[in-house]
Structure 1
Amino acid sequence: MQLESILQQRFGYSSFRPGQKEVIEQILKGEDVIALLPTGMGKSMCYQLPGYVLKKAVLVISPLLSLMQDQVDQMKLFNEKRVVALNSFLNVEEKKRVINELEQFRFIFISPEMLVQPQVQQKLSRMELALIVVDEAHCISQWGFDFRPDYLRIGEMLTTPRPPILALSATATNKVLEDIEHYLKMKEPYKYMHSVDRPNIHLSKMSFSNRDEKLQWILQHITETAGPGIIYTQSRMKTQNISELLLQQGISAASYHGGMDYLDRQFVQQQFIEGTLDWIVATNAFGMGIHKQDVRQVIHESIPSNMANYMQEIGRAGRDGQDAVAILLYSERDEELAKFVGIDDLPTDYHVDIFEDYLKVGQAPTQMLDRGEISETAFRVLNYWMGQKQPNEVKQIFQNMKSEKMHSVEEVMKLITSSACMRETLVNYFGQTLDERPKQCCINCGLQLEDLLKPREIIITPNVNMTWKDRIGNILTKKS
């Protein structure tokens, strides 16, 4: 049966989107594949359709619980009953039942941390899989080294012989592509590289003399222009402060960050998707797997820690193909903050020495956590690398990570300081060439924001007797 016939009968589409058919054909030949496809290009089709052709289970390794659950829910809406997410949402009994019945499912979603569990490994080793998918595969490089080291273990967990591996991402540099291929132990993978450029996202930037001035601009801009929109910032406290200021101006807004309870995050996310909320003020914890088509603005209140994060975050705008804007804001000391955030959870030489001291006296290094000597994230990373290298080598690895993160912030600063085309700078960073500049490309190419942004329908006039600075001061005083 032709692939187009299956596409029509199973999914109701008459034709493939760019890249889908090429990727699927290689998978059906038994080849490993790395596919770089922008958000909204239907990456999930690249593994769902082969699952129906090959008629064996597809294992999908996914980075976030919410993303995993959303994909499962979407498939169930299309009458796929044999789909499951094996993750920490399940209680002990549910988890045991799912593992025992794993071969009954056609699509199995799992986190890297769950994949390395011995009982899961034992079960998977006895199953014949059609395909192994690593979704958001850039996380291997972006998160694996210094955030979630179980990403680096994925390749070790895959039994031999194994089915084809499909690594999916929307953005990846050449270095990230090399990491994906290496750590997944792929065999000369076929690579489909779609352009990372999103022509309908128009790029702007603004510099301010201080943070108060920048905050004043944000409040005034959002009371005057239409959303929906996302404001990205580097700290959890800022998400709360800014969202409260917006609420005072009659804007339907909420904060979102990783420290919130999972159900609270889900509630905020659902309100935003349904249109009850116009604005989300978030850390980079928000966005991956969020299917909202009509985001018109993405504003970075402070510069992100690297270009990959920036590209992924602005990519949450304009998924409906309509015009959207991305505005990058900068004020003095933002660069220092971004560097601090980038290295904050990295273990230090001191942590390496303590870890080694515990081992020498026959004690468990986990006591570092019990005694508050290290954060949980830093310990995960430290524990992984201490099992891979000698202590001096581990110290050098962390020093190299620190240097790379500093350099990553400096790369983002080029967007702020350079007069070159912002779009071209971004595309070149990912090792690609910009073929054509769209109209209203970026601020350095003559972008006029007022031509793209619609006015907000209802503008609440603030108290004219109180200055922006006074109102900001009141909120910040109340918070402290």
Structure 2
Amino acid sequence: MIKTDKIYQVLHQRFGYQDFRDGQLETISALLSGHDTLAILPTGAGKSLLYQLPAYLLPTGVVIVSPLISLMQDQVDRLRQQGERRVIMLTGQLQGRDRRAVLDSLGQYRFIFASPEMLTNSQVLQALRRVRPSLLVVDEAHCISQWGPDFRPEYLLLKQLRIQLGGVVTLMLTATATPRVRQDIIKKLGLDFDHVRQVIRSVNRPNIFLAVDQVESADAKQAELVRLVKTLPGPGIIYFASRKLATQQAIILAQETGLAVAPYHAGMPALERFNIQQQFMANQLQLICATSAFGMGVDKNDLRYIIHYHLPANLASYMQEIGRAGRDGQQSVAVLLYAPGDEGLQSQLTTIDLPSEALLTQVQQGKLQPAVLGEQADLFAFYLHQGYTPQQIRRAFHQRQHQLTFNLQKMRDYVGLKRCRRNYLLNYFGEGEIRQDQCCDNDQPDWAAQLKFPSSPAPVQPAAADWRARLAKLFNVKSRLDKG
């Protein structure tokens, strides 16, 4: 048992903090006492410290499972800026001789970052078993449940990883999880719910005003988006369900508002995405038009607004994304734009094209190639390779489709609310109701004129005109962007 004064000593000397934020000491103490722990702390609560500090008090390294390379790279960069050299990131870019050299010396690293896909590699797993890490961290743990069997199925193998690492102490981290999702996370990692320490803090962010802006048509939504961007103080993020539309709207908004705007989505080159993120952090960009690929690990405290152009798939994703606003505690706003029929796009995006049992059986028996299983052939082949029967696969995906439909209906209910939006969200996440002034548009319809926002940061070069030229060059858009 490591004493509390030793924990504070590391906090002061290594990290330069005088005290812990709410929930941090409780989580760290549980881990250092050998307890598997689920920590649900709001965005901006300092979740990275929960594994970084124990790493300096444990005998061997810490393995951090992360869903995005950009998120891992951000954490690696920050650790190195703090003077930490014993940190490595295991990705598919690490090949051949370089990979062998890293794996042979893996025991010298204090922090080992990896995607769930990388941890299924037999060579990586063998190296980790030799190291016998002291702590396994599952970052953004809601992904285990929220993504389900239809996306990133390698998350389901983390249970086996825990077992192969000797039942290593496990930390599960997320900002949002309903009671059902909490149970699902713990179950899928093969842990005993009654023996997992849970450190849970409210998802409520009282400084984020909640609003739904219902319009009559797609054209009206476009006009309202431009009006909001012109009216609200930045910086801000607008989320789209479509890569193409995120790019198109970045161009339109740069033209209509004169702001420095850029798109961000997974279809863009990695270097371009990295540059855009860095320039946004440095206030060279005032607005990002993004898909859900943008946001995890973006530690920008002064985001004043989050706008959703399309209906999100579920309330958990919505809370994750709007939680990126106002991390400095200052007034911010989350606006969801809605036009009749918007749920149709999200329903289409979340519909699973499930092969028949007969077709799955023929592939399993080697009579047909996996390609006959359709666009998601690799996904279904994964489950067959893991020993799932066709019946089990179809049952799991039918259950997943039912959950996706239920989640979308909850999101639709949020749009149509005539009562407090905040309490609806708190109830969804298993919390009690509260009373709060300046809460949502249902009790303050004229919110845009009444909210008191802090001043926007002064834009840093390159100026908006430079960014319009860059957008024109990047996306082969003609000189109409130079107008205005």
Scaled by the length of structure 1, the TM-score of the pair is 0.89
What are the superposed Cα offsets for residues 367-406 of structure 1, whole Å, 9 maximum, x if unpaired?
A: 44xxxx633xx23431233344332332232222222211
Aligned match of 1:445: 443
Which of these residues, 203, 219, 222, is aligned with residue 210 of structure 2?
203
The answer on 1:175 being equivalent to 2:183 is no
Partner Cα distance (2:116, 2:327) in 1: 28
Match of 2:126 among 109, 122, 125: 122
The farther-off stretch of 164-173 and 90-99 is 90-99
SS in 2 for 1:196: coil
**Distance in 2, Cα, partners of 1:113 & 1:434:** 40
Q: What is the correspondence of 1:128-207 to structure 2 with a 5 Å cutoff?
A: 128-158=132-162, 159=164, 161-187=166-192, 188-207=195-214
Q: Which moved more, 1:142-151 or 1:327-336?
A: 142-151
Partners of 1:335 and 1:128 lie apart in 2 by 47
What whole-Å deviation, never above 9, does each CA across 1:202-244 have from its counterpart, x for those lacking one? 1011111101101011112212332111111111111011111
Q: Map 1:14-413 onto structure 2 (within 5 A).
A: 14-158=18-162, 159=164, 161-187=166-192, 188-249=195-256, 250-343=258-351, 346-350=352-356, 353-365=358-370, 367-368=371-372, 374-375=374-375, 378-386=376-384, 387-413=386-412
CA distance in 1: counterparts of 2:383 and 2:282, whole angstroms: 43
Counterpart AA for 1:374: G
Q: Please say if residues 302 and 334 of structure 1, whose CA atoms lie closer than 8 Å, have aligned partners that are also in contact.
A: yes
In structure 1, the partner of 2:16 is: 12
Change (3 A) 1:108 1:418: same
* Alpha-carbon distance in 2 for matches of 1:285, 1:355: 31
User: Unaligned stretches of 5+ in structure 2?
Assistant: 465-477, 480-484
Aligned-partner Cα distance in 2 for 1:160–1:290: 31
Q: Give me the whole-angstrom Cα distance separating, in 1, the residues matched to 2:343 and 2:114.
A: 36
CA RMSD of aligned residues (A): 2.2
Instruction: Give the secondary-structure state (helix, strand or coil) at the position aligned to 1:302.
Output: coil
Provide Cα deviations, 1:30-65, integer angstroms capped at 9, x if missing partner: 110000011111111111111111232111111110
Indicate if the aligned counterparts of 2:129 and 2:165 stay in contact, CA closer than 8 A. Answer: no
Cα shift readout 1:259-282 (whole Å, capped 9, x = no counterpart): 222222112211211111111111
For residues 168-217 of structure 1, the C-alpha deviation after alignment (integer angstroms, 9 at most, x for no partner) is 11001112111111111224110000001111111011111101101011
- Offset of 1:90 from its aligned partner? 2.6
SS in 1 for 2:432: coil
CA contact (8 A) 2:149 2:396 kept: no
Measure the CA separation in 1 of the matches of 2:90 and 2:29: 28
Amino acid at match of 2:361: E
| TM superposition score normalised by structure 2 | 0.88
User: Is the 8 Å Cα contact of residues 422 and 442 (structure 1) preserved in structure 2?
Assistant: yes
Change (3 A) 1:271 1:364: same
Pick which of 8-17 and 425-434 moved more: 425-434
Aligned amino acid, residue 180 of structure 1: I
With over 3 angstroms needed to count, the CA separation of the structure-2 counterparts of 1:355 and 1:206, relative to structure 1, is same
Identity %: 39
Asked if structure 2 preserves the Cα contact closer than 8 Å seen for 1:144 and 1:150, the reply is: no
SS at match of 1:145: helix
Q: Give the aligned length.
A: 451
SS in 2 for 1:112: coil
CA distance in 1 between partners of 2:392 and 2:122 (Å): 29
Residue by residue, what CA displacement relative to the aligned partner does 1:85-144 show, whole Å, maximum 9, x if unpaired?
Answer: 111243433222211110010111111000110001111112222211111111111124
> Deviation per CA, 1:321-348, whole angstroms, max 9, x where unpaired?
11110001100110111111122xx341
Shift of 1:256: 1.3
Q: Give the corresponding residue for 1:471.
A: none
Aligned-partner residue type, residue 400 of structure 2: M
Q: Secondary structure at the match of 1:349?
A: coil
SS in 2 for 1:25: helix
Q: Residue type of the partner of 2:407? A: S
Whole-Å separation in 1 of the counterparts to 2:105 and 2:366: 44
Moved over 3 A (4+): 352-355, 358-364, 384-389, 453-458
Q: What residue ranges of structure 1 are gaps of 5+ in the alignment?
A: 461-473, 476-480
- Determine if contact 1:148/1:380 at 8 Å carries over to the other structure: no
